[in-house]
Copies of this chain bind each other. A is one copy, B any other.
Amino acid sequence: MVDKLIEKIIELQNPTCVGLDTDFNYLPEEMKKDISTFEGAAEAIAEFNMNIIDKICDIVPSVKVQVAYYEMYGHAGMQAFEYTVNYARGRGLIVIADCKRNDIGSTAGCYSKAYLGKTSLNDKSLRAVEADMLTVNGYLGFDGIKPFIEDIKKYDKSIFALVKTSNPSSGEFQNLKLENGKFIYEQMGELVSEWGKDTIGKYGYSDVGAVVGATHPEEAERLRKQLSHTFFLIPGYGAQGGSAKMLKVCFDKNGLGGVVNSSRGIICAYKDVHYSGMNYADAARAACIDMQQDLAGVIGKMGK
């Protein structure tokens, strides 16, 4: 699936991923009014997402749907999550389910079934929801990752494992140094690269990618040099403080190597004075255009 994402990035000259981390509180007042149940909130969130997806699907290659923002509305929220993922795929977007799932082998297999594969039921196999890509956490080692890799190969999917996260205190653990001279995040990066070595596609990148925050350019630069076959999911642009200049180091000489997520910067753009007077969907589109120009200005031409 990383090949398809790269092709869309080249086609649109845009490595943007729009983060649909849709908190009910982000919705315009008129959409929130009189809603007092999770079912009502979930429907409003799905409608909000749908209208944004309609306005951005021709200019961005991908969306990232952050499941935590749906789980907090219970099973009704999960229904909105499923609706959003399906709707975005129907509009041609590559959908990253941002779930950071992790567990031991058989249980990791359940997570893989939930988002990438199929769940068996008597003589049938059904999908709970079908995303194209899924974020995972590799703390448990390879047998926690293997079930995902099996589904990647079977259904043409991808995963991104956490390597260097965008949060301020990520270094508390990830930047500790190992006896072998590597930082923990580098070691995790190496494992991720190893786990993906059988899934390298035609652009030289594997279907086992890495989450590398835009807010830590020094680490990102080391990782880019070290992990030549690993595609990056880059959070932290915009609201979290990462700039296009800071994340340039994540890209290779062909302007490829990563997809850059912005969540609040896009879906809450309508609250920004810069986009005042626009409705939320038009503001999201305008913010995507600005982000594309910002990124392309620094990264240059994407693809040979």
Q: A140-B162, A143-B168, A170-B140 are in contact. Are A36 and B122 (CB under 8 A)?
A: yes
Instruction: Please tell me if the beta carbons of A110 and B68 are within 8 angstroms of each other in the complex.
Output: yes
Whose C-beta in chain B lies nearest to the C-beta of A145? B169
B179:A107 contact, CB within 8 angstroms: no
CA distance A39 to B167 in the complex (A): 38
Question: In the bound complex, how far is the Cα of B100 from the Cα of A138, in angstroms?
Answer: 12
Are the CB atoms of A73 and B128 closer together than 8 Å? yes
- Known A-B contacts A121-B41, A165-B140, A178-B179; the reply to A72 vs B110 at CB < 8 A is yes
Question: Which of A7-15, A111-119, A249-257 lies at the interface?
Answer: A111-119
Decide yes or no whether A142 CB sits under 8 A from chain B: yes
Complex Cα–Cα for A179 and B177 (A): 6
Minimum CB–CB distance for A257 against chain B, Å: 22
Q: A184 near B: Cβ within 8 Å?
A: yes
CA distance A177 to B78 in the complex (A): 40
Most buried by B among A41, A126, A188: A126
Contact between A103 and B68 (Cβ–Cβ < 8 Å)?
Answer: yes
Shortest Cβ distance from residue A29 to the other chain B in the assembled complex, whole angstroms: 10
Q: CB-CB < 8 A to A69: which residues of B?
A: 107, 110
A175 to B114, CA, bound (A): 30
Q: Is A105 an interface residue (CB 8 A)?
A: yes
Q: Which residues of B contact A170 (CB under 8 A)?
A: 140-141
Quick check: A74 and B141 within 8 Å, CB to CB? no
Interface residues on A, range: 35 or more
- A85-108 residues at the B interface, CB under 8 angstroms: 100-105, 107-108
A48-72 with Cβ < 8 A to chain B: 66, 68-69, 71-72
The one of B38, B165, B169, B178 in contact with A176, judged by C-beta atoms closer than 8 angstroms, is B178
Kindly state whether residue A187 has any CB partner on chain B within 8 Å: yes
Cβ contacts under 8 Å, A24 to chain B: 120-121
Q: What is the CA–CA distance of A167 and B140 in the complex, to the nearest angstrom?
A: 7
A36 contacts across to B, CB distance below 8 A: 121-122, 124
Instruction: Among B75, B121, B167, B187, point to the contact of A143 (Cβ < 8 A).
Output: B167
* Residues in B whose Cβ lies below 8 Å from that of A137: 100, 102, 137, 139
Q: Given A75-B79, A121-B24, A137-B139, do A177 and B176 touch, yes or no (CB 8 Å)?
A: no
